[in-house]
Amino acid sequence: MEFEIGHPVAMLESETCRLVLVLFPSQGHINPMLQLATILNSRGFSITIAHPEFNSPNPSNYPNFTFLPIPDGLSKSSLTVQDFHSTMLAIHRNCREPLRRFIQQMLEQNDPQGRVACIIYDALMHFAQEVAAQLNLPSINVRTSAAASMLAFAALPRANEQGYITFTDSLIQDESLKLQSLNIRDLLITMGENPSDTVLELRAATTSATRNSCAAIVNTIHFLEEEMLPKIQEYFHAPIYAIGPFHKLAPSSSSSLLKEDTGCISWLDKQASRSVLYVSFGSVASMNEEQLLETAMGLAMSERPFLWVVRPSSVGCTEWLELLPKGLQEIIGQRGCIVKWAPQKEVLAHGAVGGFWTHCGWNSTLESICEGVPMLCWPVFGDQGLDAKYISHVWKIGLELEAKLERGKIAGAIRRLMVEEEGEEIRQQAQAFKERAERSLDMGGSTNTALNELVELILSFQPQHVTSD
Ligand code: UDX
C-alpha cells in the first residue's frame, strides 16, 4: 500500500477511514487515548483500539469501537513506579510482531467501510511507527504529556553516542533563551538530571519515532505552551497539533480501570463552597509509611475539609489504610473523606472543591486547569516535575511543596493556598486559565482550529491498494 499526503482530488470520506489507535496500558495514558478516539469517532472515523492485554479497557463503554487485544506476555495486576520501565520494555519486546500481524490481516480484509488510513500511537508505544512503516501506512504520534516533554525527551545528555539523536545544542545551551521566568534548560532538568541508559534509550526511540511520523498530536492547549510549541516545531519537522484538553472534547467517555466511589460526591454536596482540598496522586505513584503519616497529620493540622484518594496497594506493602493509627483515622474522618478511587473530573468540577493537592500528572493538571482549581504540587516521577514547574513558576496557578513531606509544612502550604491572600491571587489566575481553556474550544479557538486541520490531514492520507506479504 502506498499513500499520498495532501492530495485534494484523492480525499477519502471520513466514514470510510478506519484509524488504529495503539494504547499504552496505564490509566494516565488510556484516558487521553480513548478520549482522542472518541473525538475522532465524532468526526466520522471508524476506530480500532489496539491495546496490550494488561490493564485492558472495558469495551462495553465504547460500543462504537473495535477492540484488538495484543498478547503481551505479562502476568501483572498493577503498575508501579518501580516496574514502570521494565513493563514498558516487555511490552515493546512482546507486542510489536502481534500488532504487525493484526494490522496486516485488517489490511488484507479490505473492508470498504474500514480501510485503515493510519496508525495513531501513544508515544510510549514507539514501535508502532516502525510497524506502520513496514506496512506502508502513515503514522501519527500522540503525546499524552505536556508538549515540553517532547523537548525534554529529545535533549539527550550523551547526544553524540551512537544510536542517540543529536539535539539542537544551541537550544539547550543558550542561557538567554527563557520561557517566561524559566530557563528552558532548568525546565528540562526537571525530567531527571542523570537518567539511566534504559530511560535514555526510551527517549531516543520515542524521539526518533516522532520524527519519522507524519504528525504529532499533543494533549495541550496552545496558550499554555505558546513559547514552547514553536521551539518544538523547529525540531520536529512534521506538523504538531495541539488539540487539548481532550477530556473536554470527549466528556462522556469513561475509561476508569478502578471502580469510582461516587459516594464522595454526596459528601462534597454537604461542604461549603470552595472549602475542600482534593488530594490525589494519580494511578501509579505510591507512598511509604512515613509519607502516609505526615500527609494524614498535615491534613489534620490544616483544619480544612479534604477528600483524599488512597489507591489500594499504594502505601508500602499494605492493602489500604492499615498503617494509619486508628485514633488518627477517627480524627481525620470527622473532617475528611477518604476513598480508594474518585470520579476525579466530577470532583474537580464540584463547587465545594477549592484546591487540589496533586502529583501533577498531566491529565490531573489539565483537568484542574479546566475547572479553575488552584494546585498544590508534589511531583513524584517522570514528567511530573516539569508540570509542577509550569504550574507554580510559569503559570502561577499553584504552589510547590517540598519533596520531603513534613506535617507542619504541609499544613502551612494548604493554608497558603486555601486561606491566605496569596491563595486568592492564585485562584484568580486559575479562574483566568479556565476561561482561556474554554475559549480554545470555541469555533476559531486554537484547539478547534487545530482539530479541523488534523481531520483534513487524516482525510488526505490516500490508500492506493492492498498487498499481502
Ligand atoms: C502518568 C504520569 O504520572 C503522568 O505524569 C503522565 O502524564 C501520564 O501517566 P498518572 O499517574 O496516572 O499518569 O496521573 P494523571 O496523568 O494525572 O492521570 C490520572 C488519571 O486518573 C486522570 O485522568 C484522573 O482523572 C484519573 N483519576 C485519578 C481518577 O479518575 N480517579 C482518581 O481517584 C484519581
* Domains in the chain with CATH codes: 3-254+441-462 (3.40.50.2000), 263-419 (3.40.50.2000)
CB 462 near ligand 1, within 6 Å: no
284 CA to middle of ligand 1, Å? 8
Q: What is the pLDDT of residue 299?
A: 94
133 CA to middle of ligand 1, Å? 31
Q: What is the pLDDT of residue 315?
A: 87
Is residue 66 classed exposed, middle or buried when 0-12, 13-18 and 19+ CB atoms within 10 A define those classes? Answer: middle
CA distance 115 to 107: 7
CB 368 near ligand 1, within 6 Å: no
Q: What single-letter DSSP state applies at residue 124?
A: G
Q: What is the pLDDT of residue 62?
A: 95
The three cell numbers locating residue 203: 527517549
CA distance 268 to 235: 46
In the chain, the N- to C-terminal Cα span, in Å, equals 11
Q: Which residue has the cell 534509550?
A: 201
pLDDT tens digits in sequence order for the chain, 469 residues long: 344 433 333 334 555 799 999 999 999 999 999 999 999 999 999 999 999 999 999 999 999 999 999 999 887 777 888 788 888 889 999 999 999 999 999 999 877 667 899 999 999 999 999 999 999 999 999 999 999 888 888 776 554 444 444 555 555 555 555 565 666 666 666 776 667 778 878 888 898 899 999 999 999 999 999 988 988 898 888 999 999 999 999 977 789 999 999 999 999 999 999 999 999 999 999 999 999 999 999 999 999 999 999 999 888 778 888 888 777 777 777 789 999 999 999 999 999 999 999 999 999 999 999 999 999 999 998 899 999 999 999 999 999 999 999 999 999 999 999 999 999 999 999 999 999 999 999 999 999 999 999 999 999 996 534 444 4
Q: How far is CA 346 from CA 309, 342, 350, 362, 448, in A?
A: 14, 9, 6, 17, 24
CB 389 near ligand 1, within 6 Å: no
Ligand 1 atom with minimal separation from the 145 CA: 7
CA distance 278 to 358: 8
Q: Is 174 left (phi over 0), alpha (psi -120 to 50) or beta?
A: beta
**Amino acid, res. 181:** S
The pTM of the full predicted model, rounded to 2 decimals, is 0.92
CB 280 near ligand 1, within 6 Å: yes
28 CA to middle of ligand 1, Å? 4
Ligand 1 atom with minimal separation from the 311 CA: 33
Mutate to test the pocket of ligand 1, among 23, 24, 26, 27 (most ligand atoms within 8 A of CB): 27
Q: What is the pLDDT of residue 109?
A: 86
CA distance 172 to 152: 10
Mutate to test the pocket of ligand 1, among 246, 261, 283 (most ligand atoms within 8 A of CB): 283
- For residue 116, the surrounding DSSP H or E stretch is strand 115-122
